[in-house]
Amino acid sequence: MDTIDTAAFWDGVYADRPQVDAPQPNARLTETVAGLPPGDALDLGCGNGGDALWLARQGWHVTAVDISAVAVAQLAVLARSHNLSDHVTPMRADLHTSFPPGAFDLICAHYLHTPFDLDRTTVLRSAAYALRPGGRLLVVDHGSTAPWSWNQDPATRPPEPREVAAEMALAPETWTVERADAPRRIATGPDGRTAEVTDHVILIRRTG
């Protein structure tokens, strides 16, 4: 599908999904970022805005991007209602064609999966280059198929965290892989069902 169809698809997803007044952040974000000094953050594929709002409450200035104009508009409303507009900048962006400008202390990409064309490796490599020295890139992928996943193909094998990091081909003298593992947790899907899922977690720090 072309870009317009892709955007329309995700607009439909967020328009049909019940809006939540206080969306929760992803567990891997809170466990990773807690204790870090706040700075400038970039949330790739911000979705319902739970991560962006949580980061803003911790003092981060967050640029939150999504291909869905509906998701971006909903986040703008939420940021205002939570008095966080001065810390959250929602922005519509298509990562298939461009990467948001700027330099960041933290970039997070949670479940940046799509049934449409997206060169994830290029996106994640661009994210690594957009880090300031000392900044971190947190990538969390699906490591298992949840009952509510759009891809139920049993033959699908998600790449291991070390494989994702290796595909980015980052120079080890400039970037360090601080974490690459596959923890499990109990997750709740959009329909309220719960299931044990596996996350593939990659944390990369720019050292130079």
Q: Per-residue pLDDT for the chain (208 aa), expressed as one digit of tens each?
A: 455 688 999 999 889 888 889 999 999 999 999 889 999 999 999 999 999 999 999 999 999 999 999 999 999 999 999 999 999 999 999 999 999 999 999 999 999 988 788 899 999 999 999 999 999 999 999 888 776 676 667 667 788 999 999 999 999 999 999 999 999 999 887 777 888 889 999 999 999 8
Q: What is the CATH number of the domain that holds 135?
A: 3.40.50.150
Q: Please state, in angstroms and as integers, the Cα–Cα distance from residue 57 to each residue in 20, 30, 154, 172, 183, following that order.
A: 17, 12, 39, 33, 26
Supply the pLDDT for residue 150: 62
Supply the pLDDT for residue 167: 96
Total domains, the chain = 1
> 88: how many CB neighbours lie within 10 A of its CB?
26
Supply the pLDDT for residue 117: 81
* Domain extent for 136: 3-206
Among residues 65, 55, 62, 51, which one has the least CA distance to residue 23?
A: 51
Supply the pLDDT for residue 60: 98
Supply the pLDDT for residue 114: 82
Supply the pLDDT for residue 46: 97
Exposed, middle or buried by CB within 10 Å (0-12, 13-18, 19+), for 4? exposed
- DSSP state letter for 19: P
Contact assessment for residue 182 and residue 148, using Cβ atoms and an 8 Å cutoff: no
Supply the pLDDT for residue 147: 64
